[in-house]
Amino acid sequence: MELTQMIDAKGLAAMLSLSKRQVFRLNSCGKIPAPIRIGGAVRWPAEEISAWLKAGAPDRKAWNARKEIQA
């Protein structure tokens, strides 16, 4: 079983130099990759965030289309 490192909203905010509130706003607008909900917690896979940033941080719709093409 492979363990994936997960990033919380505070950690993602620090990576993007934004506030935690702005991360949630971007999420609700579909500007960042969709998070994974674990119980009441919201987390993003660190590997996906790194790949998303390397791809130029496209919006969620474009990002999902790129992931489907690569799969």
CA-CA distance, 69 to 25, in Å (whole number)?
Answer: 27
pLDDT tens, position by position, 4-62: 899 999 999 999 999 999 999 999 999 999 999 999 999 999 999 999 999 999 999 99
Alpha carbons 2 and 55: distance in angstroms, whole number: 24
Residue reference for tokens 């009441």: 40
Q: What are phi and psi of 39, to 5 degrees?
A: 65, -125
Element (H, E) at 10: helix 9-16
What length does the chain have? 71
The pLDDT confidence band at residue 71, using thresholds 50, 70 and 90, is: confident
pTM for the full model?
0.88
